[in-house]
Amino acid sequence: MTPIIIVLIILVVLVIIALIKTIQVIPQASAAIVERFGRYTRTLSAGLNIVVPFIDTIRNRIDLREQVVPFPPQPVITQDNLVVNIDTVIYYQVTDARAATYEVASYIQAIEQLTVTTLRNIIGGMDLERTLTSREEINAALRGVLDEATGKWGIRVNRVELKAIEPPTSIQDSMEKQMRADRDKRAAILTAEGIRQSQILTAEGEKQSAILRAEGESKAAALKAEGEAQAIRTVFESIHAGDPDQKLLAYQYLQMLPKIAEGDANKLWIIPSELGDALKGLGGAIGNIPNIPNAAAGGGDGGAVTRREAPRFDKD
């Protein structure tokens, strides 16, 4: 191989290398910092870019998308001198590639240290109970401080989230006991309230039942009295419509005497005095009537006939 051919091959290789260094393709949502002899020249945006080979160099390639960076748990002392471990997550985005490259040596490390310092300042002014219940307040305060400090670095902090707040083990045990006592208390209150409501409903039901029962009995008594009154009126109207005489009334009374005399306890019969004349006339019409008292036949205020029982003789 002659020297001329070797020189041509070297020139071709140098041209290829120069072309490779001249053409720079930047991916979407990325940026590149170009320096010329160590000094910032320009920022390359996404797409095809041309640089001067062996003079311009690519200092840094930066992702412009939103980044998520979790930080390890950090011990923080609260206002009541309790140590809690707090995990944080930062959502940030590079808005100025030049500032992110030249204004801070390592913006990730700077954000982490600033987050820890700010978090300790915020938590140091809160007690444990407020720390556990004020996550939104802590997130807002932390985001405000970080956004203000990282703005000059060409970085925008979009969100700050507290992943976990872990109090000491002894405090966790005390909190669990307190929560268990609160749950038992609420359960007892709900049980008592349920029993009370059940008793109220039972009393109301019994009250309504008693009212309805009393109303039913009242209506039944009224209907019974009305039926008896109607029956009396019907009998009275029937009697007056038939126009019975004293003989018929006396005859009917004589028919009822056997029923009145039934039973061993009937020892005294009451005969109304108004039936005296009727019995007297009836006796003359149908013959002699046995066992009719003289007082009843003769009128007066009334008479009583005593039924005597035959004496009993026991056999010796």
Q: Report the CATH number at residue 109.
A: 3.30.479.30
Report whether pLDDT(131) > 60: yes
Alpha-carbon distance of 90 to 109, in angstroms, equals: 12
Q: Quick check: is 312 in a domain?
A: no
Name which of 79-88, 111-120, 181-190, 261-270 the model is least confident about. Answer: 261-270
Strands (E), 37-125: 39-44, 47-50, 56-63, 67-77, 83-94
Q: Quick check: is 231 in a domain?
A: no
Check residues 301 and 72 and name the one with the higher pLDDT.
72
- Global pTM reads 0.51
Alpha-carbon distance of 251 to 235, in angstroms, equals: 18
Q: Quick check: is 315 in a domain?
A: no
Q: Is 86 helix (H, G, I), strand (E, B) or coil?
A: strand
Q: How many domains does the chain have?
A: 4
Judge if 56 and 131 occupy the same domain: no
Q: Quick check: is 313 in a domain?
A: no
Q: Quick check: is 241 in a domain?
A: no
Question: Which domain-ending residue is among 63, 87, 107?
Answer: 63
| Host H or E run for residue 228 | helix 169-242
Name which of 15-29, 68-82, 188-202, 268-282 the model is least confident about. Answer: 268-282
**Residues near 99 by Cβ (< 8 Å), separated by ≥ 6?**
152, 153, 154, 155
| Host H or E run for residue 32 | strand 30-36
- Strand 83-94 to strand 155-166: parallel, antiparallel, or no bridges (unpaired)? antiparallel
Judge if 87 and 151 occupy the same domain: yes
pLDDT, tens digit (0-9, with 9 covering 90-100), for 225-256 = 888 888 877 877 776 776 666 666 666 666 66
Judge if 148 and 133 occupy the same domain: yes
Range of the domain at 97: 67-167
pLDDT, tens digit (0-9, with 9 covering 90-100), for 62-106 = 999 999 999 888 888 888 888 888 888 999 999 999 999 999 888
Judge if 181 and 138 occupy the same domain: no
Cα dihedral sign, 214-218-219-223: positive
End-to-end CA distance of the chain: 177
Mean pLDDT of the chain: 78
